[in-house]
């Protein structure tokens, strides 16, 4: 798309890196705006003009992007360790990040669902492990890490016959009608999944931070670029979901 708008420009690769992960509509809007600005200024519209008029990075935006990179790399390394491979893409874009990978649930076993929840919470665990704090990055609207992990656990309990209700089938949960017992169970179980994710990541902290630093610079990595970072990660023997060495004690 960028090449069509700016054919033959020598800075196309640099501009593509700047726009990595953005939707075609978002890129098109920014190019149109830059073209209009160049026309009003009587200047040539090229990649150098677009790059020169991008918002300047601040210490705050760089810190946020670094946190997002650590978050996404936590997902990727946990996925590799738990067999949710291949990890096909990671990218940073406009204050958000994405990790594309395989699902680890194949036979519908409880252990597989627990692995999937662990991977979903590994981004949050990575932030806590490397930065000592967590952000709201795992939360938000439908499709967030926390929403997906919560719905997966509720499905195990209420629909799959793999949770606290045994063989009972209770149907989909109405989140507004959950009892305090239900909420406490969700909190305790998901906290255990995050602790498990942290234990998985701890031995690989150096690799995690180096991968995040690389992602921070390149903005986007495909399966080929990720392979050297992830291919030799060996899944550990399955450990108990919780242990006294939990890594943190959520209040």
For residue range 189-209, list pLDDT tens digits in order. Answer: 999 999 999 999 999 999 999
Task: Tell me 100's DSSP state.
Answer: E
The pair of structure tokens assigned to 206 is 């150096």
Residue 144: its pLDDT value, please? 95
Is residue 236 within 8 Å of 196, Cβ to Cβ?
Answer: no
> Any idea how long the chain is?
251
pTM (2 d.p.): 0.82
For 119, half-sphere exposure in the C-beta direction (CA atoms, 13 angstrom radius) is 26
In the CATH scheme, what is the code of domain 60-230? Answer: 1.20.58.760
Residue 239: its pLDDT value, please? 57
What is the residue-averaged pLDDT of the chain?
A: 88
Residue found under tokens 């949050």:
124
For 87, half-sphere exposure in the C-beta direction (CA atoms, 13 angstrom radius) is 27
Task: Tell me 90's DSSP state.
Answer: E
Over 80: is that where the pLDDT of 210 sits? yes
Question: Which is it for strands 96-101 and 87-93: parallel, antiparallel or unpaired?
Answer: antiparallel
Question: For the chain, what are the domain ranges?
Answer: 2-52, 60-230
pLDDT in tens, 118-155: 999 999 999 999 999 999 989 988 899 999 999 999 99
Confidence of residue 247 (pLDDT cuts 50, 70, 90): very low
Residue 11: its pLDDT value, please? 73
Over range 55-68, report the average pLDDT.
89
Residue 251: its pLDDT value, please? 42
Residue 75: its pLDDT value, please? 98
Residue 244: its pLDDT value, please? 40
C-alpha 69/C-alpha 216 separation (Å) is 6
Instruction: For the chain, give the percent of residues with pLDDT over 90.
Output: 64
Residue 51: its pLDDT value, please? 74
C-alpha 183/C-alpha 181 separation (Å) is 5
Over 80: is that where the pLDDT of 94 sits? no
Helix (H, G, I), strand (E, B) or coil at 174: coil
């Amino acid at each position: 798309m960028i090449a069509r708008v700016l054919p033959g420009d020598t800075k196309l690769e640099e501009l593509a890196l700047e726009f990595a992960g953005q939707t075609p509509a978002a890129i098109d809007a920014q190019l149109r705006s830059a073209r209009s600005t160049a026309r009003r200024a009587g200047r040539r519209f090229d990649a150098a003009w677009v790059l020169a008029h991008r918002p300047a990075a601040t210490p705050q935006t760089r810190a946020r992007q670094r946190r997002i990179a650590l978050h996404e790399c936590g997902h990727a390394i946990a996925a590799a360790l738990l067999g949710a491979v291949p990890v096909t893409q990671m990218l940073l874009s406009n204050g958000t990040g994405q990790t594309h990978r395989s699902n680890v649930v194949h036979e519908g076993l409880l252990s597989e669902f627990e692995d999937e929840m662990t991977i979903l919470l590994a981004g949050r665990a990575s932030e806590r492990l490397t930065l000592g704090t967590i952000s709201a990055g795992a939360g938000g609207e439908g499709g967030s890490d926390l929403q997906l992990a919560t719905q997966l656990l509720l499905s195990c309990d209420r629909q799959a016959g793999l949770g606290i209700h045994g063989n009972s089938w209770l149907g989909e949960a109405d989140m507004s009608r959950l009892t305090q017992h239900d909420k406490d169970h969700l909190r305790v179980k998901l906290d255990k999944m995050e602790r498990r994710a942290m234990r998985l990541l701890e031995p690989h902290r150096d690799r995690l931070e180096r991968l995040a630093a690389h992602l921070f610079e390149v903005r986007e990595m495909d399966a080929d670029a990720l392979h050297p970072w992830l291919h030799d990660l060996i899944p550990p023997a399955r450990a108990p979901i919780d242990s006294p060495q939990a890594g943190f004690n959520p209040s």
